[in-house]
Amino acid sequence: MSGGDGTLQTIVFGIGDELFALPIGVVREILDHGPAFRVPNAPDWLIGLCDVRGLSVPMVDFRICLGLPSVAVTPATRVLVVESDTGGERPLVIGLVVDRVLDVSTWSREAIEPLPDTGTAWHSRHVVSVLRRDGGFVGLLELDGVLAGMAQILAQSGAAPPVAAVS
């Protein structure tokens, strides 16, 4: 929970027809999609590097990380610059490219539900809870789970992880 009153503030964004949310505390800023330096021999999901206030930040196609096909950039495409304390010397900073950003939302504790039991050993490495919104669902993501999922994709592809450390 990020609010002192038992509420959670999130950035809500869309990928395809689905809505997702990240806690506002892990999102440094939201940028328009701009040009990127293409890294030779990079995996498909690594779009390239972008300059964010003098920092070289890897831009990741979040659709591919979620197992969805990549799509063309539109005027609504945004880059969520996220930061995670990975226990290293400096925080990890990555730009997650998403189809669109909807809003900042505040959720009550009652709106946060655990993932339903599917009767199998399946678990999501990205979505940790679901939030109810306008008769539908918003998948609540946990950044460390997203990064762990990216690390697993990297291990399968044999590529080195993209890292931008904040000085």
More confident residue, 60 or 162: 60
CATH number reported for the structural domain that contains residue 148 in this entry: 2.40.50.180
Q: What is the pLDDT of residue 142?
A: 86
141 in any annotated domain: yes
pLDDT for 165 equals 47
User: Using CA atoms, how far apart are residues 69 and 133, in angstroms rounded to an integer?
Assistant: 25
Number of domains in the chain: 1
Distance in angstroms (rounded) separating the CA atoms of residues 55 and 93: 9
Instruction: Give the SS3 label for residue 111.
Output: helix
User: Which of these ranges, 132-136, 145-149, 159-163, has the smallest mean pLDDT?
Assistant: 159-163
Structural domain span for residue 92: 8-157
Place of tokens 């609010």: 3
The answer as to whether 91 is a domain residue is yes
Phi, psi of 85 (to 5 degrees): -85, 105
pLDDT for residue 162 is more than 50: no
pLDDT per residue as tens digits for the range 10-40:
999 999 999 999 999 999 999 999 999 999 9
163 within some domain = no
Question: In this structure, is residue 167 part of a structural domain?
Answer: no
What confidence tier does 163 reach under pLDDT thresholds 50, 70, 90?
Answer: very low
Quote the CA–CA distance of 63 and 98 in Å, as a whole number. Answer: 7
CA separation, residue 133 to residues 40, 119, 129, 136 (Å) = 41, 25, 13, 5
Residue 36 lies inside a defined structural domain of this protein? yes
pLDDT band at 96 (very low <50, low <70, confident <90, very high): very high
Specify whether the CB–CB gap between 100 and 76 falls below 8 A.
yes
pTM: 0.82
67 against 99, higher pLDDT = 99
